[in-house]
Amino acid sequence: MQFHQNGFHPGDPRYSDPQDAVVAPPIKRPMPKEVDVLIVGCGPAGLNMAAQLSQFGNISVAIVDQKDDRLLVGQADGIACRTIEMFQAYGFADQIIQEGYQVNEAAFWKPDADKPFEIARSGKVADVADDLSEMPHLIINQARVHDEFLKVMQQSAIKLEPHYQRKLLSLEVGDASAEYPVTVQLERMVNFSQYSQEIETVKAKYVIGCDGARSAVRSAIGKELVGDPLNQAWGVMDILLNTDFPDIRLKSLIHSNNEGNMLIIPREGGYMVRMYVELDKLKENERVARDQMTAEVLIAAGNRILAPYSIDVKQVAWWSVYEIGQRITTAFDDSTDDRAARVFLAGDACHTHSPKAGQGLNTSVMDTWNLGWKLAHVLTGRADESLLTTYSAERREYGQALIDFDRKFSAMFSAKPKSAENPDGVDPAEFQRYFQLFGEYTAGVSIQYRPSIMVSDGIHQELATGLTVGKRFHSAPVVRQGDAKPVQLGHCHTANGAYRVYAFAGNAAPFSADCGVKALCHFLAEDAASPVKKYTPAGAEMDSIIDVRAVFQQHHQEVNTADIPAALAPLKGTLGLRDYEKVFCADNRPVSSGGGKDIYEMRGINREHGCIVIVRPDQYVAEVLPLNDYAGLSQFFAGVLK
């Protein structure tokens, strides 16, 4: 899509008249007196948490923010492949992909060897390695992501909307045995008189602090950010421009000789660009002199760095300055030796770092993607409260890894290029190699959670070598048997809090007497030890807690619909209609038709024996088992469900 050619306007670019894209703020209304979950902060972490909890229908949720309305412009813009996979679970990945700028290549620039005060291109590399994800790396205004989360919330059964203009005054955790042990006081920021103060009190079972680097929730539970001081200033601006710089529509990492460094990120719409411009080093405890900083200062700095090229800025849509510092909170929740956690922290309330590696929004939403379903399982009685301890265990380790990565990446990016005059500088070629080496990390797919009640030790990993236990489920193309539609298997994962059990068949004929999937389906449907029978509540749909799917090696036309057992053809809804979308086959279509990508080969599935792959509600592989290991299947779910 191309847009913004007549100037920048926030909101959905599909509207011809930008005024039609304006969304009215929610009706101002009082806070509820009691809620299951109170979320503080309407950033990406908070909205993701709210969107996820809204899918359950029977959990009362409120989300508050000091702002007077939804975000319109600025802040984060990089959306990692893994985050787009998560968006798919909500159903809005296609919308974001269509609208966003797709990062395919990165260009590297360094001082010209013959003209050291000018820059020259040193190389180009693919931004995303082949088969890293079925999803692209995108650039899009963070506000558009917020809009999609808000839409999910509004369209849910509880029709959730934020309460804006609320400032957290106090938070206290009382008697842990009380139904609503957390008491929060909020100040309503709009009053009819400057001499009056309207205070609202809300009692909650749990509070989630997603209120940013200066988190009031974090302060209220006695935690703090610790780490490196702020010692490097950068400017950022979203601009519409003309330029003779040849890589203006590529992600470009630029090292100049003496004028500083720059990162160029093309933005959605085909015309807008984001530029990160290096400013001066800061002394200890020094902050940027914002009153002396203007967009013109940043533009002038950008022109000096880009020499011999230049930019002619037509409009500045947004600009800001910030200081780099890598810090992490002393704890991700308020648990003690005597009490389970009632307050959790997520997003920038937990970790802060530079934006140049594009990890801020992506890490923040993955915090609440990890926590949301666990909290929902506890609140709905599916799981014991001890499940919540895995949030801090899993996300704190990754948060620290993020800080360590960002510290090195920022230092390399901010350093002067290596030269005869600066022998201790960074070799641009080394920086390019580092960029490529950590491609999995920046794409968000490198996370591997350690063994716990949620993740096995992977003793049967050889049955599915490409679906690593503890890592996200790596999707691959398949053909859905019922309608012969080519699909991505990972897109079966929706944000409904259900576990997925994939039964990959061995080499026996589909649903024959020797078929291991047929035997597994009989166990799941008939045996008293079946986790599907044991943990599915009375009256609930059969796949609401454990969603079973099957994958066969054979061509989809070799699978007879009449042979599919009830475990793979549940009756759904008030009318009891049969679900025809539980059985898949390897994509045996001709390459000329887009086929030829065999999931068994791509993901190292054992062709002779097949296997079972259990996937958590947040799309991470929890266990790989032999296809006939019914005891192992039952044992896993006994540890996480009740």
pLDDT in tens, 277-289: 988 654 455 456 6
Answer yes or no: do 545 and 606 share one domain: yes
Considering the candidates 267, 382, 396, 549, report the single residue annotated as catalytic.
Answer: 267
Q: Do residue 59 and residue 191 come from a single domain?
A: yes
Across the chain, how many H-helices and E-strands are there?
A: 14, 29
Give the count of beta carbons closer than 10 Å to the beta carbon of residue 373: 25
State the average pLDDT over residues 332-353. Answer: 93
CATH number at residue 636: 3.40.30.20
Quote the CA–CA distance of 262 and 235 in Å, as a whole number.
Answer: 10
Pick the catalytic residue from 44, 65, 70, 77.
77
Residue 497 in this model has a pLDDT that exceeds 50: yes
Residue 263, domain CATH: 3.30.9.10
Nearest to 445 by CA among 131, 92, 149: 131
Q: Quick one: tokens of 576?
A: 């009891």
Do the domain assignments include residue 300?
yes
Q: Are 244 and 193 in a shared domain? A: no
The proportion of the chain whose per-residue pLDDT surpasses 70, expressed as a percent, equals 95
Tell me the C-alpha distance between 208 and 364, whole Å: 13
Residue 234 lies in a domain: yes
In a domain, 565, yes or no: yes
276 is catalytic: yes
Q: Which two tokens stand for residue 215?
A: 């988190």
Contact between 524 and 533 (Cβ < 8 Å): yes
Mean pLDDT of 185-193: 81
Does residue 8 sit within a domain?
no
Same structural domain for residues 156 and 49?
yes
> How many of the other CB atoms lie within 10 Å of CB of 193?
7
As for how many domains the chain has, the answer is 3
Q: Rounded to whole angstroms, what are the CA distances from 579 to 483, 519, 521, 583?
A: 12, 20, 15, 10
On whether both 505 and 362 belong to a single domain, the answer is no
375/265 same-domain check: no
Average pLDDT over residues 317-334: 87
For 295-329, the DSSP string reads HHHHHHHHHHHHTT--EEEEEEEEEEEEEE--EEE
- For residue 169, is it within any domain? yes
User: What is the pLDDT, as a whole number, of residue 428?
Assistant: 72
My answer on whether 161 and 254 are in the same domain is no
Q: Are residues 211 and 247 in the same domain?
A: no
Of the residues 266, 297, 324, the one at which a domain ends: 324
Residue 372 sits in a domain of what CATH number? Answer: 3.50.50.60
For residues 507 and 611, what is the distance between their CA atoms, to the nearest angstrom?
Answer: 11
User: Do 467 and 571 belong together in one domain?
Assistant: yes
Residues 81 and 172 in one domain: yes
What does the block give as tokens for 11? 């909101």
Q: What is 427-492 written as a DSSP string?
A: -HHHHHHHHHHTHHHHTT----PPSSSSS---TTGGGBTTS-TTSBP---EEEETTTTEEEEGGGG
Residue 70 a catalytic site member: no
Residue 353's pLDDT is what?
A: 77
Question: Tokens 């350093």 — which residue?
Answer: 415
13, 111, 355, 570: the active-site residue: 355
47 and 95 co-located in one domain: yes
Q: What is the Cα gyration radius of the chain? A: 26
625 token code pair: 């088992």
Residue 355 tokens read as: 């934006």
Name the band, by pLDDT with cuts 50, 70 and 90, for residue 228.
Answer: confident
Is 514 among the catalytic positions?
Answer: no
Structural domain contains residue 410: no
Q: How many angstroms from the chain centroid is the CA of residue 60?
A: 24
**Burial (Cβ within 10 Å: 0-12, 13-18, ≥19) of residue 508:** buried
Structural domain for 92, as ranges: 18-100+140-227+328-401
Domain end, chosen from 401, 429, 448, is at 401
Q: Are residues 119 and 145 in the same domain?
A: no
Catalytic residue among 164, 276, 502, 600: 276
Torsion sign, CA atoms 401, 404, 408, 414? positive
Of 449, 450, 469, which Cα lies nearest the Cα of 458? 469
Q: How far apart are CA 321 and CA 442, in angstroms?
A: 23
Q: Is residue 420 part of a domain?
A: no
- What is the overall mean pLDDT for the chain? 92
Scored b (16 or more CB within 10 A) or e, 441-468 reads bbbbbbbbbeebbbbbebebbebbebbb
Is residue 27 a part of any domain in this protein? yes
Q: pLDDT by residue (tens digit) across 436-451?
A: 777 888 899 999 999 9
Model pLDDT for residues 142-153, shown as the tens digit of each residue: 999 999 999 999
Single out the residue in 378, 401, 424 at which a domain terminates: 401
SS (H, E, C) 399-433: HHHHHHHHHHHHHHHHCCECCCCCCCCECHHHHHH
Cis peptide before 308 (omega within 30 of 0): yes
Question: What is the spatial distance between Cα 346 and Cα 379, in angstroms, rounded to a whole number?
Answer: 19
